[in-house]
């Protein structure tokens, strides 16, 4: 035979227990909702768009790829850049100039 476990709570009604649990769950959900950051999908841009964003020529863009300043993503013959990584690269370039 399997042993059964019984938990007894004294001094509280079932409704009060239910309300107490619901209040705790609601508080946790509020905390999660306040700190929730939705995941945004990565935006990919073409070489030409990346050069326009960075205000450089496509030749300079290729040079930065070779130097490792930027991280291009290849999709067959296509080259794409993540928009967020371009923004980070701009910050790093500006910091290195100071």
Element (H, E) at 75: strand 73-75
Answer yes or no: are the C-beta atoms of 42 and 80 closer than 8 Å: no
Indicate whether 22 belongs to any domain.
Answer: no
Regions in the chain scoring below 50 on pLDDT: none
CA–CA separation, 46 and 81 (whole Å): 7
Q: At what angle do helices 47-54 and 58-67 cross, to 10 degrees?
A: 90
- Residue 53 inside a domain? The answer is yes
Determine contact, residues 45/83, Cβ cutoff 8 Å: yes
Is residue 79 situated within a structural domain? yes
Number of domains in the chain: 1
Instruction: Tell me the C-alpha to C-alpha distance, in Å, between residue 1 and each of 4, 68.
Output: 9, 68
What integer pLDDT is reported at residue 89 of this predicted model? 85
Give the span between the Cα atoms of 80 and 86, in whole angstroms: 11
- Asked whether residue 80 is domain-assigned, the answer is yes
Q: Is residue 81 part of a domain?
A: yes
User: 60 lies in a domain?
Assistant: yes
Residue numbers of the domain that contains 60 = 44-97
Residue 72 included in any domain: yes
CB 55 within 8 A of CB 89: no
For residue 92, what is the domain's CATH number?
A: 1.10.1660.10
């Amino acid at each position: 035979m399997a042993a059964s476990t019984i938990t007894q709570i004294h001094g509280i009604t079932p409704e009060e227990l239910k309300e107490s649990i619901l209040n705790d769950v609601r508080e946790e959900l509020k905390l999660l909702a306040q700190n929730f950051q939705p995941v945004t999908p990565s935006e990919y841009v073409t070489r030409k768009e990346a050069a326009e964003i960075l205000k450089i020529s496509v030749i300079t863009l290729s040079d930065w790829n070779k130097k490792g300043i930027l991280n291009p993503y290849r999709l067959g013959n296509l080259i794409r850049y993540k928009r967020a990584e371009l923004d980070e690269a701009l910050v790093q370039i500006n910091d290195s100039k100071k």
